[in-house]
Structure 1
Amino acid sequence: MLAVGRDPDRLGALEVEARAAADVGDATAGDVVATAAREHLGGLDGLVNAAGVVAFGPLVDTPDEVVEELFLTNVVGPLFMLRRVLPLLEESQGFVVQASAVVAEQPLPRMAAYSASKAALSAAATALRTEPRRSRVQVYDVRPPHTETGLASRPLAGEAPRLPAGKDPAAVARRVVDAIEAGQHDLGPEAFG
């Protein structure tokens, strides 16, 4: 397994075969990932695009740079990444998981820009499902309900509303793995129980 993240110290604490420090918002991050995958793993079987940031509050009060960062991290960066690693996934006939969120299909007030960014990622996954079909790359659109990742406690702007207890991240990850094994390409919030 190749773990990728912005923080080299946090990456160093993970027990994985390989690590690559890269920021998903950097268009060249995918080049770093592709190089590390080839050097350390001999290729790439799958990509899980699970980077994300959130912001809360009315759109009118959301600074331009926050809207820009939401789309860069939640949509543009994952697409940059996929463009760079798709040749490796075509070689392995691998898979891509685009981790979106329940707000992609159930947008919430005071989360307009975040909801829109997640909806855009989900739309990209739907469109991409047919693009690499000849190369047999499988594309999964995953939209879990609120999950206790700590994301809501680190917003780019605003304060999180009172949220019910979220799903266990390990249970969500297990469900995604089960979906990959079963070939379930479209996992909406209802699929997470």
Structure 2
Amino acid sequence: MEMEGARVLVVGATGVIGGAIAEECAARGATVLPAGRDPDRLAERARSLGAEAAFAFDAYDLDTCAGLAARAAEVAGGLDAVVVAIGTVAFAPAADLGEEMVEHLFTVNALAPMAVLRGALPVVDEGGAVAAISGVLVDRPQPGMADYGAAKAALSAWLTAVRTEQRRRRVAVLDARLPHLETGFADRAAVGTPPAMPPPADLDTVVRGIVDALAEGAALVLPDGKGGVRAEARAR
């Protein structure tokens, strides 16, 4: 997919990673339509991008999530890509989490991204791409993050199955299993205090890698062990 002139919906564009992805896509000549929860930050992001429209949503409103791509396509005259960069984390042993918190983790990290992309699949043009951020813990589940990891693993499994379903339409389905990044995400945990984290990867390098993978129609983005990421054309 050629980024120059592409129409890209970025859901979670008010966050650190989603905002950086939106700005990188715009810098490469894409028309970016941002979506986010915070209205003030969303308006600011839209101004920064020169976007003709922005879309507010709440992860708990799955019907609105499912309708975001159609709304964006109506404004832009179609869509070439949809990127979902939303999430929340909790740090606690599984036995200490209440069911309400578990539901929260699965809604924000799995059900809402799935709803956005489910609504996007009939809308994204043939040869386009959809993407979501899961995380490296899909491959390496961590104690104290069991339910968060399970929610991200559910999203990753969903993306893997949808990738095969979309092969005929040549719509790439990208699973970005990112390494630890210093974005303040862990410090905003819904529950608990983050454990000692590994040295963070470089945000700008990772974001460039994600957008490269989106343009290439890659299946996976994985840590490269050097502070960045690498793309794989086929899922493992």
Task: Tell me, yes or no, whether TM beats 0.5.
Answer: yes
Query: What is the aligned partner in structure 2 of residue 128 from structure 1?
Result: 162
With over 3 angstroms needed to count, the CA separation of the structure-2 counterparts of 1:168 and 1:29, relative to structure 1, is: farther
Q: Could you tell me which amino acid in structure 2 is paired with residue 11 of structure 1?
A: L
Question: What is the number of residues matched between the two proteins?
Answer: 192
Contact kept in structure 2, 1:51 and 1:73, CA below 8 Å? yes
Query: What is the alpha-carbon distance in structure 1 between the residues aligned to residue 160 and residue 223 of structure 2?
Result: 16
Q: Could you tell me which amino acid in structure 1 is paired with residue 141 of structure 2?
A: P
With over 3 angstroms needed to count, the CA separation of the structure-2 counterparts of 1:29 and 1:165, relative to structure 1, is: farther
Query: What is the aligned partner in structure 2 of residue 99 from structure 1?
Result: 133
Query: What is the aligned partner in structure 2 of residue 19 from structure 1?
Result: 54
> What SS does the corresponding residue of 2:107 show, helix, strand or coil?
helix
- The structure richer in helix per residue is 1
Q: Could you tell me which amino acid in structure 2 is paired with residue 102 of structure 1?
A: V
Within 5 Å, which residues of 2 pair with 1:1-193? Answer: 1-14=32-45, 15-16=48-49, 17=51, 18-89=53-124, 91-190=125-224, 192=228
- The structure richer in strand per residue is 2
Query: What is the alpha-carbon distance in structure 2 between the residues aligned to residue 139 and residue 35 of structure 1?
Result: 18
With over 3 angstroms needed to count, the CA separation of the structure-2 counterparts of 1:190 and 1:50, relative to structure 1, is: same
Listed as ranges, the gaps of 5+ residues in structure 2 are 1-31, 230-236
Query: What is the alpha-carbon distance in structure 1 between the residues aligned to residue 67 and residue 217 of structure 2?
Result: 29
Query: What is the alpha-carbon distance in structure 2 between the residues aligned to residue 12 and residue 34 of structure 1?
Result: 18
CA displacement at 1:183 relative to structure 2:
3.3
Listed as ranges, the gaps of 5+ residues in structure 1 are none
> What SS does the corresponding residue of 1:144 show, helix, strand or coil?
coil
Query: What is the alpha-carbon distance in structure 1 between the residues aligned to residue 214 and residue 69 of structure 2?
Result: 22
Query: What is the alpha-carbon distance in structure 2 between the residues aligned to residue 189 and residue 121 of structure 1?
Result: 18
With over 3 angstroms needed to count, the CA separation of the structure-2 counterparts of 1:129 and 1:158, relative to structure 1, is: same
1:62-115 per-residue CA deviation (whole Å, 9 max, x = no partner) reads 1211111111011111111112121111x3431011210011110101111111
CA displacement at 1:45 relative to structure 2:
1.1
**TM-score, structure 2 as length reference:** 0.76
CA displacement at 1:3 relative to structure 2:
0.7
Query: What is the alpha-carbon distance in structure 2 between the residues aligned to residue 100 and residue 44 of structure 1?
Result: 22
Query: What is the alpha-carbon distance in structure 1 between the residues aligned to residue 92 and residue 65 of structure 2?
Result: 32
Contact kept in structure 1, 2:88 and 2:185, CA below 8 Å? yes
Query: What is the alpha-carbon distance in structure 2 between the residues aligned to residue 34 and residue 182 of structure 1?
Result: 21
With over 3 angstroms needed to count, the CA separation of the structure-2 counterparts of 1:170 and 1:25, relative to structure 1, is: farther
Greater alpha carbon shift after TM alignment, 145-154 vs 177-186: 177-186
Query: What is the alpha-carbon distance in structure 2 between the residues aligned to residue 143 and residue 181 of structure 1?
Result: 17
Contact kept in structure 2, 1:44 and 1:92, CA below 8 Å? no
